[in-house]
């Protein structure tokens, strides 16, 4: 028992010494020693890959103005163009065929029943495999919305990062939604 305690103390001391020279706090170094001590190198590598996948930001496929424009001219019932700006921003105009689902309510809205969703937002709740293209004013909120959709099980997600600013620049002025 004493030998085991001494061995752990020595490992902690080595980790703390390494931590001081590498800028890692001793507490974090201790956690790393404990985490890695009972795993084989292959197990550690697999666990680190899983952790990295969970921590990595997910990015939706980016759609360009040229790819989006035809979709607005001939909208499909199987694809939604979702404006995640707040209603007071949408009053300034929106991309033709877009529906408004503000980012502030998106996470909860995706958990509504189809009936409740349609009553609240005025359009059918998207299916998990339905194409969803998100846009906002400048591309930041649309990226967040794509991430929220992904985390809620949606699989066919696009992000128009040019968003409203690029659309109005290319179109010449704001256009009212159809």
Q: Is pLDDT larger for residue 36 or for residue 65?
A: 65
Task: With H, G, I as helix, E, B as strand and everything else as coil, classify residue 100.
Answer: strand
Question: Residue 102's CB: how many other CB atoms inside 10 A?
Answer: 20
pLDDT of residue 41: 83
- pLDDT for the residue 49: 76
Which of the residues 136, 148, 157, 158 is marked catalytic? 136
Is residue 34 predicted with pLDDT exceeding 80? Answer: no
Question: Which stretch of 14-23, 46-55, 80-89, 106-115 has the lowest confidence by average pLDDT?
Answer: 14-23
| Residue 158 designated active-site | no
46 or 131, which is more confident: 131
Q: Is 156 a residue whose pLDDT tops 70?
A: yes
Count of beta carbons in the 10 Å neighbourhood of residue 14:
12
Could you read off the pLDDT of 8-25 as tens digits, one per residue? 555 545 544 544 444 544
In the chain, list all ranges with CATH 3.40.250.10. 61-171
Mean pLDDT score across all residues of the chain = 81
User: For the chain, what's the residue count?
Assistant: 178
In CATH terms, 61-171 corresponds, of 3.40.50.1580, 3.40.250.10, 3.40.50.300, 3.40.50.720, to: 3.40.250.10
For the segment 112-128, the average pLDDT, to the nearest whole number, is: 96
Q: How far is C-alpha 90 from the chain's CA centre?
A: 22
* 3-class SS string, 103-167: CCCHHHHCCCCHHHHHHHHCCCCCCCCCEEEEECCCCHHHHHHHHHHHHCCCCCEEECCCHHHHH
The phi-psi region of residue 124 (left if phi > 0; otherwise alpha if psi is between -120 and 50; otherwise beta) is: beta
Mean pLDDT of 116-141: 96
Which two three-digit tokens encode residue 158?
Answer: 């696009």
Tell me how crowded residue 56 is: count the other CB atoms within 10 A of its CB. 8
Identify the pLDDT of residue 10.
52
Q: Is the pLDDT of residue 113 over 50?
A: yes
């Amino acid at each position: 028992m004493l030998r085991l305690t001494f061995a752990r103390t020595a490992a902690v001391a080595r980790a703390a010494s390494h931590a001081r020279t590498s800028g890692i706090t001793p507490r974090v170094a201790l956690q790393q020693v404990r985490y890695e001590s009972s795993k084989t190198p292959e197990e550690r590598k697999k666990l680190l890959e899983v952790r990295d996948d969970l921590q990595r930001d997910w990015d939706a496929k980016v759609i360009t103005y040229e790819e989006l424009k035809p979709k607005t001219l001939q909208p499909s019932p199987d694809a939604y163009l979702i404006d995640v700006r707040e209603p007071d921003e949408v009053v300034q105009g929106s991309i033709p065929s877009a529906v408004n689902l503000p980012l502030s309510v998106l996470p909860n809205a995706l958990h509504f029943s189809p009936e409740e969703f349609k009553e609240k937002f005025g359009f059918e709740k998207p299916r998990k495999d339905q194409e969803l293209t998100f846009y906002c004013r400048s591309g930041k909120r649309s990226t967040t919305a794509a991430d929220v959709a992904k985390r809620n099980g949606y699989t066919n997600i696009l992000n128009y990062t040019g968003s409203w600013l690029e659309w109005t620049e290319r179109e010449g002025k704001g256009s009212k939604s159809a």
